[in-house]
Amino acid sequence: MASNRTFTMIKPDAFEAGNSGAILKMIEEAGFKIIAVKATQLTPELAGKFYEVHAARPFYADLCKYMSSGPIIAAILEKENAVEDFRTLIGATNPANAAEGTIRKIFAKSIEANAVHGSDSDENAAIEGSFYFSQFERIS
């Protein structure tokens, strides 16, 4: 059964640029409910753990450095068909390939500093949400 939750991070580039509010507004206007949210900053070690699946990729070291370079916002979002609909809302990983009107097209600076993260599966949405939030930190 498809889950109705996904997980997102507003990344250091978007947070630093003061775009968190505008991005959260786009997320809510697209019909997502924010059921858990916090501002925090990753250590390089925690960033490495979160992105462990990419450990063998050439961009991994830079990604960990970048993701721990400043504050982020982590959130669990709820909507029917959440994972797929959120990936449509944010657009392609590389903003150069992102569709007009998507969050990455509007706010991302590069393939690395691409404004937001969105889970790529229901399974990863649950794992990634649990990385940041306990059941007591969620609305339900």
What number of chain residues touch ligand CMP (CB under 6 A)? 8
Read off φ and ψ for residue 42, nearest 5 degrees. -80, 150
Which entry of 117, 125, 128, 133 is annotated as an active-site residue? 117
Residues 5-44 that bind ligand CMP (CB under 6 A): none
- Residue placing its CB nearer to ligand CMP in the complex, 63 or 127: 63
Query: Residue 87 class from Cβ within 10 Å (0-12 exposed, 13-18 middle, 19+ buried)?
Result: middle
Q: Within 10 Å of residue 105's Cβ, how many Cβ atoms?
A: 17
Give the torsion through C-alpha atoms of 73, 74, 80, 86, to 10 deg: 60
Pick from 111, 122, 124, 127 the residue near ligand CMP by CB under 6 A: 111
Distance, CA of 126 to CA of 104 (rounded, Å): 23
The verdict on 104 binding ligand CMP (CB under 6 A) reads no
Nearer to ligand CMP, 133 or 139 (CB): 133
In this chain, which of 117, 128, 129, 132 binds ligand CMP, going by CB under 6 A?
A: 117
State which residue, 85 or 112, has the beta carbon closest to ligand CMP: 112
- Both structure tokens of 113: 């500093």
- Active site positions, annotated: 117
